Amino acid sequence: MALNIAYFAWIRERMGVADETVDIPADITHVGELVAWLAARDSRGAHAFSEPKRIRAAIDGVMMGPDAPLEGARELALFPPVTGG
């Protein structure tokens, strides 16, 4: 499955790209599995996703947790926790 992944803030800086389209292996079915796969893919991913519990995700603009299924997703956004005031 091809999926567009958008990276934000320090994740984007560590990955070296703002977004990319990746072919996800068939056995990757949930957000958390994809984050683990991205971390194992290369040294940039290992650095960007070294603390997977800090990563937040949105599938097609809707916030989701690590157990969210990727089936039917067009875009996944990955970003660090957001603060505001």
The domains of the chain, with CATH numbers, are 2-79 (3.10.20.30)
Model confidence pLDDT, tens digit, residues 31-41: 999 999 999 99
What is the helix, strand, coil percentage profile of the chain, to 5?
30, 30, 40
Cross-strand pairs, 19: 6
pLDDT > 90 in the chain, percent: 93
Residue 85 reports pLDDT greater than 60:
no
**pTM for the full predicted model:** 0.93
Model confidence pLDDT, tens digit, residues 47-63: 999 999 999 999 999 99
